[in-house]
Structure 1
Amino acid sequence: MLGKLTGPAAGLTMVAALTGLTPPAAAQSGVAWRPCAGEGLPEGMECAAIKVPVDWARPRGRKVELELARLPVGEPGRRIGSVLGVPGGPGADGIEDLKHAAGDLTELRRRFDLVAYKPRNAVWRERMPASCGRPALTLSEPRDRRQYAALSATMAKGFKACRDDDRTGLFAHLDSLSVARDMDAVRQALGEKRLSLMANSYGGVPAAAYIRLFPQRIRAMYLDGVVNQTEGWPTTNLVAAGGMEAALTRFGRWCAETPACALHGQDAAEVWRELTRDADREPIPVTSEQFGEGELTGWRLRSFGFVPDPGQDGSRWLAFAASVDKARRGDGSGFAEFVLGNANVWAMPGALAMTCGDERGYTGWDQLREYRRQFREVAPSFAGASFDALGCTGWPVEVANPARPLDTRGLPPMLGVGTLEGDFPWTERFTQMVPGSVTVGYDGPGHVMYLSGKKCPIAYATAYLTELRLPAPGTVCPAE
């Protein structure tokens, strides 16, 4: 059972002996750093760029430029090395992460250069052709083998058009193994023998790929709200499903205790279930300003409609309850933009190209049907096919980074952080692969604590990355 501790320093245990009391000198960087241009940047931020192969199997072929940024170490005489941020998304820009988090990472910066980069998938997102941003269809759940085959054929056409129009060459090389090789190119450019890593959210996928390719190059790894792709996406999504069901139960209790909730005095969770069941039988017509006319099916509502995070002072749940109340009376406007938007975005070939290479799609109709059966058992209120896996149906390129067990022998113990109401199970399943690792729970809502400015998780991360110390198993940070 998780026990709450009184502070970030309580219960810290040494997990690795510190070898040598004299810190290493600054690495001899091969990067030409310069002051970053722009307004509102963290003080002292420097920028640079490196070029890496588009296709790592052809290192002398076409190159893509990756932007870098760093905040130099605050105490050069006590410098340990570089901490490289591994952003999520996929498609998030690590430089923007560093700009956002810089003020909360000042203690970590005392001993480290804080380094960020714009991954190849973020470069792709900015340069992909227009055809890659057009949805192949509005995503719906196939109900039988014939509908699944039709979905696959339509998505395949969309992928082909995107690939044919791509002039960057990146379409087929956005998998996390390619991203991990880019990360090691950054390490080499920095002149570091080993890296300390901070990965968040989908960044857990390239983090696992880096472990697979370069285990000897890892000094330490901090994992914040990450997924464990090595188990396969069906398992990853099933792990998350239990959290969604628990969040719906919490929403029901909150609504019962909150007079301002539009469903107060009713079984709010059951009202949601009834809404989705009714929408399965008779979809609700809606209009989106961006995506035009469409309909809210039960599957689309279950996939995109529920909000597990209550938000500041319950603001998100207040809006959700109001939208549910209107939708059950035939007015789905409260869900239209977000639900139809996601049903289209997750059918955009350019967005899906950033994940399909990590084996995110179903292997076929039989796997989808079995997954749907398992989902009904784990989270009946959200049962159905996984939208992200559906989008990758029809992926035309061999999967470069399939899910498979990870060899963790010889790795340093790692630190994870996850919200008990959300991503803790994801992160813990990752850290459990590495002997001696610990995952700290955060007793509140949210996702990616070091980007949210949460002081307790950041303090643990700083102690771990600086001194290679981990908190005691079962440590929980109180909500801030």
Structure 2
Amino acid sequence: MVAVDPRGVARSEPVECLDGREMDAYTRTDVTPDDTKETNTLVTAYRRFAEGCGADAPELLRHVSTVEAARDMDIVRAALGDKKLNYVGASYGTFLGATYAGLFPQRAGRLVLDGAMDPSLPARRLNLEQTEGFDTAFTAFAKDCVRQGDCPLGGRGTAPGQVGKNLKAFFERLDARPIPTGDADGRRLTESLATMGVIAAMYDEGAWEQLREALTAAMKDQDGAGLLVLSDSYYERDAKGEYSNLMFANAAVNCLDLPPAFDSPDEVRRALPDFEKASPVFGEGLAWASLNCAYWPVRATGEAQRIEARGAAPIVVVGTTRDPATPYRWAEALAGQLESARLLTYEGDGHTAYGRGSACIDSAINTYLLEGTPPTDGKRCS
């Protein structure tokens, strides 16, 4: 097995934008601005982030697109002496794998794309549908939370919509008055950090109990430590206050692959009703978070497009029905575009499906990778 850090990521000349202290300030920035002053503060944060990336690697920043990374993968394939590329990609890795198949369909071997992205969507639509995905995942968490009997967001029988309203009210209290966390660097739990802590737990239903306990501590005891831990895990911040380059690389690639979702705060405000309809809890924050590429130092080189990969071997596209980050409809969409796709569905929670506890999913994928026999199109697992 060979793993590759795409250009700009980890050990492949990583893009670096802000140091640890600067990132601490960035992650605390209010992404639900209430007035012009707070909006200007958010815009300034996005500008500083972008300027930091540009100052670090002005030339590299122009060449970290998914198309270029896919061409790099073909060089890896050739260096290994393989006639075809056998590949497992998850989340963004599905976009990378699909892009490879579109560029080199005759060299695409056994490809598995788990937690699929839809390459035909422009950035605004991509962000809006992802917002719906987080709402779907939160609804599943809300039902589980009240069923446990010790949910800080509502007692047994509380409807998911009311659970969401209670969480939103908690976020608003934090916006007005952040709470202590016991952090060595003196960080308090802000609305933005708490929101990211909740979102982080949506990626894996195994973290729901941890989230429930963290919310209980924060809401009842004014102890934000648990939610801060979850937020730090999402941002990949270590105990020394240093961050991996995950957030930097995400922005660098995404802002090059597609034109920005929004060009100005006014555009975000006009779109807020759609985002808040998609998710009453997360919609506002995720809409404003979609503004970051507006200030990127280099122009996008990619655009949304269908990928058909005509002539490629069977490509297994995997979708999870309540996936927060890559909604199931994206797997359906990608499978509908790829000429040779076989859609494999996991009826469950969490982000991606392979290697996360479903013997049905793992067996279907392993059989394809090891024996070359793909699952039947439309196969469903739970």
Aligned to 1:65: none
Which residue of the partner structure matches residue 55 of structure 2?
164
Aligned 8 A contact 2:114 2:319 in 1: yes
- Say whether 1:226 aligns with 2:116: yes
Q: Which residue of 1 aligns with 2:240?
A: none
1:466–1:129 Cα change, 3 Å: closer
Contact 2:9 2:15 in 1 (8 A): no
Task: Answer with 252-261 or 187-196: which moved more.
Answer: 252-261
Checking the alignment, whether the CA contact within 8 Å between 2:179 and 2:223 is kept in structure 1 is: yes
- Counterpart check, 1:384 vs 2:281: no
Structure 1 counterpart of 2:176, which letter?
A: P
CA contact (8 A) 2:71 2:100 kept: yes
Contact 2:122 2:261 in 1 (8 A): no
Mapped contact 2:8–2:15 kept (Cα < 8 A) = no
Q: Deviations over 1:33-83 (max 9, x none)?
A: xxxxxxxxxxxxxxxxxxxxxxxxxxxxxxxxxxxxxxxxxxxxxxxxxxx
Q: Summarize the Cα distance change of 1:228–1:292 in structure 2 as closer, same or farther, 3 Å threshold.
A: farther
When residues 229 and 311 of structure 1 are mapped into structure 2, their CA distance, relative to the original with a 3 A threshold, is: same
More strand by share: 1
Structure 1 residue 225, shift from structure 2 partner: 1.2
Corresponding residue of 2:83: 193
Q: 8 Å contact 1:449–1:457 — kept in the other structure?
A: yes
Check if 1:242 corresponds to 2:132: yes
Counterpart pick for 2:319 among 415, 418, 429: 418
1:405 to 291, 306, 313: 306
Structure 1 distance, partners of 2:331, 2:320, is: 9
Question: Is 1:435 aligned to 2:339, yes or no?
Answer: yes
Call closer, same or farther: CA 1:260–1:310 in 2, change over 3 Å. Answer: farther
Give, in whole Å, the separation in 1 of the partners of 2:80 and 2:344: 30
- Say if 2:6 is the partner of 1:119: yes
Matches within 5 A, 1:131-146: 131=18, 134-135=22-23, 137=26, 138-141=28-31, 142=33
TM-score under structure 1 length normalisation: 0.63
CA gap of 1:295–1:362, structure 2 versus 1, over 3 A, is: farther
Partners in 2 of 1:348 and 1:220 — Cα distance?
A: 30
Structure 1 unaligned segments of length 5 or more: list them: 1-113
2:183 is the alignment partner of 1:296? no
User: Number of matched residues?
Assistant: 360
Tell me the percent identity.
26
Which amino acid in 2 is paired with 1:205? Answer: F
Decide which structure has greater helix share: 2
Give the match's secondary structure for 1:438: strand
* Matched residue SS, 1:374: helix
Whether the aligned pair in 2 keeps the contact of 1:226 and 1:426 (CA below 8 Å) is yes
Q: In structure 2, what is the equivalent of residue 359 of structure 1?
A: 258
How far is the alpha carbon of 1:433 from its aligned partner?
1.0
Could you say if the C-alpha distance between residues 302 and 124 of structure 1 is closer, same or farther in structure 2, counting changes exceeding 3 Å? same
The one-letter code matched in structure 1 to 2:190 is L
1:27-426 pair list within 5 angstroms: 114-123=1-10, 128=15, 131=18, 134-135=22-23, 137=26, 138-141=28-31, 142=33, 151-166=42-57, 170-262=60-152, 263-265=154-156, 267=158, 269=160, 270-277=162-169, 279-280=171-172, 283-287=176-180, 289=183, 292-297=186-191, 301-306=194-199, 307-308=201-202, 311-312=205-206, 316-329=207-220, 331=222, 333=224, 334-339=226-231, 349=248, 352-359=251-258, 361-365=260-264, 366-386=266-286, 389-422=290-323, 423=326, 424-426=328-330
1:119-168 CA distance string (max 9 Å, x none): 3233457755584553373333245788656544443333333433449x
Identify the range of structure 1 (204-213 vs 359-368) with the bigger mean alpha-carbon deviation.
359-368
Distance in 2, matches of 1:188 and 1:347, equals 28
Q: Is the 8 A contact 2:113 2:318 kept in 1?
A: yes
User: Equivalent residue of 1:222, what SS?
Assistant: strand
Q: Could you say if the C-alpha distance between residues 295 and 430 of structure 1 is closer, same or farther in structure 2, counting changes exceeding 3 Å? A: same
1:12 corresponds in structure 2 to none
Amino acid paired to 2:335: T
Partner of 1:115, secondary structure, is: coil
Summarize the Cα distance change of 1:165–1:150 in structure 2 as closer, same or farther, 3 Å threshold.
same
Deviation at 1:404, TM superposition (A): 2.9
The higher radius of gyration belongs to: 1
Higher mean displacement: 419-428 or 262-271: 262-271
Shift of 1:396: 0.4
Q: Would the alpha carbon gap of residues 290 and 302 (structure 1) be closer, same or farther in structure 2, given more than 3 Å must change?
A: same
Amino acid at match of 1:218: A
CA distance in 2, matches of 1:383, 1:185: 41
Counterpart residue type for residue 251 of structure 2: L
